C-alpha cells in the first residue's frame, strides 16, 4: 500500500516532488492460551519493510461460525502500538487471530494465526485397576488410579474408597504424578469389596470417579502338624499321653477322639480306656482371616493291661471237718471282681466266696479274674490248707465217786463240745437223753450197774460215743 510525503517547501502554486512507500502487514501472528484460561495472548512481528505502522488492530475469528470480532479491546481509533496483546474474557471455543497494521487511514492485514482453543474447565475420566483379585486376607493389594483429560495432564489428589468409606492406604501415593495415583492396602477380613477412586478436581480439571472395581478377598489357608510323637506301648489305664500340634496360622489347635471306646481326650490329655486303635483328631476352625484347616489325625495301638491277684483273706489254720464255712477274699490290681472255685471239690466246695468242708484232706481254692476290654485275664492264684477229720470217740473216759456223787473225766480236744448221759445197766443212750457236759462233770449216779456215755460235737459233726460201765 503506497502513500506520498512532501520533501520540500511549497508555497503558492507551482510544482514540487514527493516520495512513495509501502505499509506492509505484520507477520508471525501467534495465539496461545493455557488450559483452563479465559484469555488469549497474541503476539506478532512488526513489518520488516516499508513504513512503521502507527498502531495495530486485532481481530478474533470463531473457526466454527466464521464470525470475527475485535480482540484485545482494539479498534481503528483505539489501536495497540506494541506487538503483543492479551485478549481477555474469551468464551470457550477455537479461534484464529489476525492483526491489522494502521497508518493514516491505510491498513495492511496479516495472515491468520494458528488456531487456539479456550476451555475454562477440562473434563476428566478416572480408571481404576487392582494388582490382583482375588487376593488373600493380610496380602497387600495395590490399586492404581489413572486420571486422564482430552487436553493437559490432571494434577491433584485421588481418594480411594471401599464401599464409600475412605481407605487408609498403607503405601503408594494418592497425589497424582503424571496423572497416576496408587493406594496399597491389606484387608483384614475376607469378602468382596467395592472399590472406587475419586479424583477431587484441580482447576481447570473437573472431578471424576472411577467405575466400582470388585475386589475379592479370600481367607488364607492353613495346615496342621502334630508336634508330639504317638506313644508306643500304650496300655489301658496306663500313663496318659499329652498330644500337641501346631497350625501354620499360629491359631490354637483343638483335639478330640475318633475312637472314644479306646481313648478319650480332655484338652490335650489322652486317656486309654480300652484296647484297640486310638485315633486322635486335630482341628483348627479358622477365623476371619483363615479358613478352617483340613483335619489331621494320629493313630496308635492301645493294648490290654496286665493285672495281678492277691488273696486278702488268710487261709484257716486247724480247719477240721464240722467247722463253720470259710469266707475267702482277694483283690485284682485292675479293680475288677475276683471269682473263686475249688480245685479239690472232694474236700471243699466254693459258692461265691463261701468255702465249705466236705471231707478231710487238702482244700485248694482258685482265684481268677477273666479280664475285660481293657485288661488281660489275670494269672490264676491258689490258696491251700489242710482240713482235718473229726476226732474219734473221746478217749481216756473214767468215772469215779460214791453212791451219791460221781465224776467223769476224759481227754478234751480243742474245738469240740461234749454231750453226756448215764443209763442203767448196759442200756444204750436215748436220742433225747444227751446233755451238755465237759471233762470233770459231776453227776448223781444211779443204783446198781450203770453206764456213762460221752460224745464230741464240732459243728454238724458228731464223734463216735465213748462209754464206761461202773457200779458205785
Q: How far apart are CA 147 and CA 319, in angstroms?
A: 114
pLDDT bucket at 8, cuts 50 / 70 / 90:
very low
pLDDT tens, position by position, 63-84: 999 999 999 999 999 999 999 9
Q: What pLDDT is recorded for position 396?
A: 96
Q: What pLDDT is recorded for position 119?
A: 80
Q: How far apart are CA 55 and CA 102, in angstroms?
A: 5
> CB count, 10 Å around CB of 315?
16
pLDDT tens, position by position, 331-372: 999 999 999 999 999 999 999 999 999 999 999 999 999 999
Q: What pLDDT is recorded for position 153?
A: 93
Tell me, yes or no, if the two domains 124-218 and 398-470 fold the same way: yes
Q: How far apart are CA 400 and CA 416, in angstroms?
A: 23
At 77, phi and psi to the nearest 5? -90, -10
Instruction: Kindly report whether the global pTM for this prediction surpasses the value 0.75.
Output: no
Q: What pLDDT is recorded for position 234?
A: 96
Name the more confident of 4 and 357.
Answer: 357
Say if residue 18's pLDDT is above 60.
no
2-6+18-118 folds as Immunoglobulin-like (2.60.40)
309-388 CATH, one of 2.60.40, 3.40.30, 3.30.450, 3.40.190: 2.60.40
Q: What pLDDT is recorded for position 15?
A: 58
Say if residue 11's pLDDT is above 80.
no
**Cα-to-chain-centroid distance, residue 459:** 75
**Cα-to-chain-centroid distance, residue 151:** 56
Q: What pLDDT is recorded for position 152?
A: 86
Phi-psi category of residue 35: left, alpha or beta, with phi > 0 → left and psi -120 to 50 → alpha:
beta
Q: What percent of the chain has pLDDT over 90?
A: 84
Contact 383, 343 (CB under 8 A): no
Considering only CA atoms, which of 123, 59, 66, 57 is closest in space to residue 93?
Answer: 66
Q: What pLDDT is recorded for position 14?
A: 55
Say if residue 317's pLDDT is above 80.
yes
Q: What pLDDT is recorded for position 426?
A: 85
All structural domains of the chain with their residue ranges: 2-6+18-118, 124-218, 224-302, 309-388, 398-470
Q: How far apart are CA 222 and CA 34, in angstroms?
A: 58
Q: How far apart are CA 249 and CA 138, in angstroms?
A: 12
pLDDT bucket at 28, cuts 50 / 70 / 90:
very high
Mean pLDDT, rounded, of the chain: 93
pLDDT bucket at 5, cuts 50 / 70 / 90:
very low
398-470 CATH, one of 3.40.50, 1.10.3470, 2.40.10, 2.60.40: 2.60.40
Helix, strand and coil content of the chain, in percent to the nearest 5, comes to 0, 50, 50
Phi-psi category of residue 250: left, alpha or beta, with phi > 0 → left and psi -120 to 50 → alpha:
left
Question: Thinking of the domain 124-218, which architecture would CATH place it in?
Answer: Sandwich (2.60)
Amino acid at each position: 500500500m503506497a502513500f506520498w510525503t512532501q520533501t520540500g517547501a511549497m508555497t503558492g502554486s507551482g510544482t514540487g516532488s514527493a516520495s512513495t512507500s509501502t505499509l506492509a502487514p505484520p507477520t508471525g501472528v501467534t495465539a496461545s492460551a493455557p488450559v483452563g484460561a479465559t484469555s488469549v495472548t497474541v503476539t506478532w512481528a512488526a513489518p520488516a519493510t516499508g513504513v512503521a505502522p502507527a498502531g495495530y488492530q486485532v481481530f478474533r475469528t470463531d473457526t466454527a461460525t466464521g464470525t470475527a470480532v475485535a480482540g484485545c479491546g482494539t479498534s481503528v481509533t483505539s489501536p495497540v502500538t506494541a506487538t503483543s496483546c492479551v485478549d481477555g474474557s474469551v468464551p470457550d471455543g477455537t479461534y484464529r487471530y489476525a492483526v491489522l497494521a494502521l497508518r493514516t487511514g491505510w491498513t495492511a492485514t496479516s495472515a491468520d494465526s494458528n488456531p487456539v482453543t479456550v476451555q475454562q474447565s477440562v473434563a476428566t475420566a478416572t480408571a481404576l485397576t487392582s494388582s490382583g483379585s482375588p487376593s488373600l486376607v493380610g496380602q497387600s493389594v495395590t490399586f492404581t488410579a489413572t486420571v486422564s483429560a482430552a487436553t493437559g495432564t490432571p494434577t491433584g489428589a485421588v481418594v480411594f474408597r471401599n464401599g464409600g468409606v475412605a481407605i487408609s492406604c498403607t503405601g503408594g501415593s494418592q497425589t497424582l504424578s503424571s496423572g497416576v495415583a496408587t493406594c496399597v492396602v491389606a484387608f483384614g477380613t475376607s469378602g468382596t469389596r467395592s472399590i472406587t477412586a475419586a479424583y477431587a478436581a484441580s482447576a481447570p480439571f473437573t472431578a471424576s470417579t472411577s467405575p466400582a472395581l470388585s475386589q475379592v478377598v479370600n481367607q488364607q489357608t492353613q495346615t496342621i502338624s502334630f508336634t508330639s510323637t504317638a506313644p508306643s506301648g500304650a496300655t489301658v489305664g496306663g500313663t496318659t499321653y499329652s498330644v500337641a500340634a501346631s497350625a501354620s496360622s499360629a491359631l490354637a489347635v483343638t483335639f478330640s477322639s475318633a475312637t472314644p471306646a479306646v481313648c478319650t481326650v480332655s484338652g490335650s490329655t489322652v486317656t486309654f480306656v480300652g484296647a484297640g486303635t486310638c485315633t486322635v483328631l486335630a482341628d483348627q476352625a479358622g477365623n476371619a482371616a483363615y479358613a478352617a484347616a483340613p483335619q489331621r489325625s494320629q493313630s496308635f495301638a492301645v493294648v490290654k493291661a496286665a493285672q495281678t491277684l492277691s488273696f486278702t483273706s488268710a487261709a484257716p489254720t486247724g480247719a477240721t471237718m464240722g467247722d463253720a464255712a470259710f469266707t475267702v477274699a482277694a483283690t485284682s490290681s485292675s479293680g475288677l471282681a475276683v471269682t473263686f472255685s475249688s480245685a479239690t471239690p472232694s474236700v471243699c466246695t466254693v459258692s461265691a466266696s463261701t468255702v465249705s468242708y466236705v471231707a478231710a484232706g487238702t482244700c485248694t481254692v482258685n482265684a481268677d479274674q477273666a479280664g475285660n476290654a481293657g485288661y488281660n485275664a489275670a494269672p490264676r492264684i491258689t490258696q491251700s490248707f489242710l482240713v482235718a477229720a473229726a476226732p474219734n470217740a473221746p478217749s481216756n473216759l473214767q468215772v469215779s465217786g460214791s453212791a451219791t456223787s460221781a465224776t467223769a473225766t476224759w481227754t478234751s480236744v480243742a474245738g469240740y463240745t461234749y454231750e453226756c448221759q448215764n443209763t442203767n445197766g448196759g442200756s444204750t443212750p436215748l436220742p433225747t437223753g444227751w446233755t451238755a457236759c465237759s471233762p470233770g462233770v459231776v453227776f448223781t449216779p444211779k443204783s446198781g450197774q450203770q453206764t456213762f456215755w460221752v460224745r464230741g460235737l464240732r459243728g454238724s459233726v458228731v464223734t463216735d460215743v465213748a462209754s464206761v460201765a461202773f457200779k458205785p
